[in-house]
Structure 1
Amino acid sequence: MADAEFPKLKPAFTALLNIEPGLPIGTLSSGPNLVWVKLVSGTLVSHDHFPTKVNAKLVAGADWIHGDPGDAIKRLDVRSVFKTDDGALLNFSYLGVIHMNAEIASIFAGAASPGLVTGWGAVTHKFIQAGAEQYKALEDGVFVAVGRFHVKADGVTVEYKISQVIA
Structure 2
Amino acid sequence: MRNISDIIEEYLKNILDEDHQKTIEIKRSEIADQFQCVPSQINYVIKTRFTVEKGYIVESKRGGGGYIRISRIEHKKDSDMIEEIMDMVQPKVSQTAAFDVITRLLESEIITNREAKIIQSIIDREVLAFPLPLRDEVRSRIMTALLFTLKYKS
Give the TM-score normalised by structure 1.
0.23
Indicate the structure with greater helix content: 2
Give the TM-score normalised by structure 2.
0.25
Indicate the structure with greater strand content: 1
Higher normalized contact order (CA 8 Å, seq sep 6+, divided by chain length)? 1
